[in-house]
Amino acid sequence: MSEYTVAVVGVGAVGEEMLRVLAQRNFPAREIRVFARSARTISLDGRSYEVRATTPEGFEGVDVALFAGTEGEKGAAVTFAAEAVRRGAVVIDNGADFRMEPNVPLVVPEVNPEALDKHEGIISNPNCSTIQMVAALKPLHDAGKLKRVIVSTYQAVSGTGRSAIKELEAQAKAWAQGEPLPAPAAYKYPIAFNLIPQIGGFRPDGYTSEEWKMIAETHKILGDDRIAISATTIRVPVFNSHSESVTVETERPIGRAQALELLRAAPGIVVVDDPAVADAGGPAYPLPIEASGKDETYVGRVREDPFVPNTLHFWVVADNLRKGAATNAVQIAETLIARGLLRK
């Protein structure tokens, strides 16, 4: 098997998860270079990684560069992606900077791997909430053609980063000890035992940037901007794994039984849908705590709308740091290899 030189840029929550996923999936890497703003040594799962300061020259000889990205601000890829590509690397960027560029593929390997064939050096990872939704939408779209999608997300604090995880921990501990909650910093309001129906900044039309990402990215990935999509994104006091309540209307009817069959056959999807065991405490539906640390997208609570024809409701859960970011990026690199698109 050919071996590749891999760069991971960023050692926050997503960057660390990229290193973990590369090791767990036995990615054929002869060398892994780790870059960040400053040099240091980090320890992860019993392994030490030397972190170098990111420079253009550091990408010499790199075959694939995974940029961890930072939501809500310009990521390192804005500065260094072109330099990496100039030196022969394929860039897979988890940030939002290039996603809607017409010449940059936006890829979920289980959904639109063929988009990789036209890459020009930079490939974008979709938003974490988009990835898990389109993975579930794809088989339904192929079978029934989507007309309308309504989604409400319940997004974990790990999507914001380590500071938000620590903030939820500190607020929960303070509440348990009967102390005042520490002042919020990662968010505008306390997140412990609370819901915040705003992720990203507000647009003039009342949607947030996170909500509009889901709309625009889904159109691009599925290659159909005629699908009517509405999103409401909510931050919830869950440490990891995003959950989504999704309603779809299709042109051709798809019943519950057929939908379950389609979803079970779809790559990367695990169906957890057994109402009969719900009262017994069995695995009746996906839970974020169960999805955390896993690479699959979990779907359940599939049901037909009793009032609106050709309409289904379902529940989608996935680990946002893994399938929503790191794993999807590594899977893109694996797909590039499988399609003969990564230099040997």
> 51-55 — which CB contacts under 8 Å span 24+ positions?
51/11, 54/9, 54/79, 54/80
How far apart CA 55 and CA 16 sit, in angstroms, is: 19
Contact 221, 134 (CB under 8 A): yes
Q: How many CA atoms lie within 13 A of 203 on its CB side?
A: 9
What letter does residue 322 receive in the DSSP assignment?
A: I
Q: Which residues of 156-195 are buried (b: 16+ CB within 10 A; e: fewer)?
A: bbbbbbeebbebbeebbeeeeeeeebeebebbeebbbeee
Please choose, from the candidates 278, 301, 307, 326, the residue with its C-alpha nearest in 3D space to the C-alpha of residue 136. Answer: 301
What letter does residue 46 receive in the DSSP assignment?
A: T
Please choose, from the candidates 300, 287, 244, 288, the residue with its C-alpha nearest in 3D space to the C-alpha of residue 127. Answer: 244
Kindly tell me the number of DSSP H helices and DSSP E strands found in the chain: 8, 13
128 counts as catalytic: yes
Stretch (H or E) spanning 11? none
313 counts as catalytic: no
Query: What is the sign of the dihedral through the CA atoms of 10, 28, 81 and 105?
Result: negative
How far apart CA 335 and CA 107 sit, in angstroms, is: 10
Which one from 141, 219, 242, 313 is the annotated catalytic residue?
Answer: 242
Which one from 128, 141, 219, 313 is the annotated catalytic residue?
Answer: 128
Q: Report H helices in the chain.
A: 13-24, 76-86, 128-144, 162-176, 209-222, 256-265, 288-291, 327-338
Active site residues: 128, 242
